[in-house]
Amino acid sequence: MDSGTIKYLQVSRNKYQSELDVKINEREDVNGRIKELERLIQETSTKIASALKEPNVSEHALLRYAERVLGFNSKEISEMILTDKNKEIINTLGDCTIPLPNGCSAFVRSKTIVTILPKDGNDK
């Protein structure tokens, strides 16, 4: 084998080794993230199990209480949030955040207002 071929093979080997080193580092990063996600899932599952040991009120029950006991009209509230102007904004922009008159904002995903953000913008 001539020296040019040997040099070509050495450069190729170094290139492959460099790529392998990068992939090994990527795999270590991915494996670390997998372990972190598994830990977070377990931690969250534990919190859910703990929360379910105590009596709770579902969001559905809260809504029905507001309607039937406090006299709130959910249809009227929906109409206050989803005005014609807001429908137009949603149809134009799709996913967006729409300012409401009181300083809060309506958070929209897939043409559905999914939450109302407080004035400071943090959903709590």
Between residues 124 and 101, which one has the greater pLDDT? 101
Judgement on whether residues 113 and 77 belong to the same structural domain of the protein:
yes
CA distance 82 to 100: 10
Q: Is the pTM of this model over 0.85?
A: no
Beta strands in 1-122 (DSSP E): 96-99, 105-109, 112-117
Domain membership of residue 123 (yes or no) is: no
Judgement on whether residues 46 and 5 belong to the same structural domain of the protein:
yes
Judgement on whether residues 77 and 51 belong to the same structural domain of the protein:
no
Domain hosting residue 52, numbered range: 1-56
1 — pLDDT class (breaks 50, 70, 90): confident
Judgement on whether residues 40 and 5 belong to the same structural domain of the protein:
yes
Structure tokens at 78: 């929906």
Domains identified in the chain, total number? 2
Q: What is the pLDDT of residues 80-94, one digit of tens each?
A: 999 999 999 999 999
Burial bucket for residue 108 (CB in 10 Å: 0-12, 13-18, 19+): buried
Judgement on whether residues 33 and 80 belong to the same structural domain of the protein:
no
Judgement on whether residues 41 and 83 belong to the same structural domain of the protein:
no
Judgement on whether residues 82 and 48 belong to the same structural domain of the protein:
no
